[in-house]
Amino acid sequence: MYDLIIIGAGPAGLTSAIYALRANKKVLILEAKNYGGQIIDANLIENYPGIPKISGFDFATNLYNQVKDLGGIIKLEKVIKVSEDKIVTTKENEYQAKAIIISTGVDKRKLNLPKEDELIGKGISYCATCDGNFYRNKIVAVVGGGNTALEDALYLSNISTKVYLIHRRDSFKGDDKTLELLKNKDNVEFILKSSVIEILGNEKLDGIKIKNEQEEKEITVDGLFIAIGQEPKNEIFKNIVALDDQGYIESNDGVHTKTKGIYVAGDARCKEIRQLTTAVSDGCVAAMTAIKEMEGK
């Protein structure tokens, strides 16, 4: 029996673990893939208070090591079921806890086009900082209009011969400063009010077909970086939490779910702003709330 089981080892989950372990609780963290969540892929973090510059990998690794040093147990096991009596079932084992924090974060949203899955790693990527070096001195395209797309395009513009930035609207939701930097890059071409409708190639990516109001055309590219947003992975919890129409966990106060003793933290919940600072804040609040209620205070 654990005091607390945390599902997800991203910044929110690992922060929850730190606070619970410091309160002398027995904590288990279950993670389907690897520690760190999406932040581990960030090339550089420059907006976290008190840390002017740090890589996402270093930040995530520091969190992970802090949890391990405090005695936290982290297991790479995919959760497949959670019951109201706080039994957590993975593909390998079954665990029980007094309280559970769900901090599963979000996944990258896909274009959902034929050949997309087959060509991942063969020309298609969802992380420019992870895979950008494979496309040094090559031609690439980035799809999206938010901060991630702009940052990916800027990063790639420093190593690739040509970068196409494709967006279905004529304006961007991302940071104005990053957008201005991109506009001053000679090797960046904006393709606006356009969508990718077909992925070309068999064994590897050869190009893409795009469509706007006037025409369809093919573009030869070596790499396609998809940055069109995120989606939660909360379907397995629908019996114990309420989900909104996009699949995020509903919580009136940002921490409690509809089931007593089951809490939510980080990008998995309904919230206005999804940033590193809000994730660790959520993790702190969720852990401290769980501890307080666990002890009947």
Does 128 lie in the same domain as 187? yes
Last residue of a domain, one of 186, 203, 226: 226
Total domains, the chain: 2
pLDDT of residue 47: 85
| Within-domain flag for 117 | no
Does 221 lie in the same domain as 199? yes
| Within-domain flag for 118 | no
Place of tokens 């976290």: 48
| Within-domain flag for 65 | yes
pLDDT of residue 197: 97
- CATH number where 77 lies: 3.50.50.60
Domain of 188 in residue numbering reads as: 124-226
| Within-domain flag for 112 | no
pLDDT of residue 40: 84
289: number of CA atoms within 13 Å, CB side?
Answer: 19
| Within-domain flag for 115 | no
Does 144 lie in the same domain as 216? yes
Residue 157: Cβ within 10 Å count: 21
Does 203 lie in the same domain as 265? no
| Within-domain flag for 201 | yes
Does 237 lie in the same domain as 186? no
How far is residue 96's CA from residue 168's CA, in Å, rounded to a whole number? Answer: 46
Name the active-site residue from 58, 130, 270, 284. 130
Does 280 lie in the same domain as 239? yes
- 131 flagged as catalytic: yes
How far is residue 56's CA from residue 74's CA, in Å, rounded to a whole number? Answer: 19
Does 251 lie in the same domain as 217? no
| Within-domain flag for 181 | yes
Last residue of a domain, one of 226, 242, 258: 226
pLDDT, averaged per 10 consecutive residues of the chain (297 residues), comes to 97 98 98 90 82 92 98 97 96 96 92 94 86 93 95 96 97 92 97 97 96 94 94 93 95 95 96 90 98 89
How far is residue 34's CA from residue 75's CA, in Å, rounded to a whole number? Answer: 10
pLDDT of residue 78: 96
- 270 flagged as catalytic: no
Last residue of a domain, one of 177, 208, 226: 226
Prediction pTM value: 0.75
In this structure, is the dihedral angle defined by the CA atoms of residues 243, 36, 30 and 112, taken in order, positive or negative?
positive
- 127 flagged as catalytic: yes
3-class SS of residue 5: strand
Extract the tokens encoding 188: 């960046």
Does 6 lie in the same domain as 86? yes
pLDDT of residue 254: 94
Does 217 lie in the same domain as 237? no
Name the active-site residue from 41, 107, 117, 127. 127
Name the active-site residue from 131, 152, 222, 282. 131
| Within-domain flag for 42 | yes
Does 238 lie in the same domain as 100? yes
Does 139 lie in the same domain as 95? no
Does 47 lie in the same domain as 10? yes
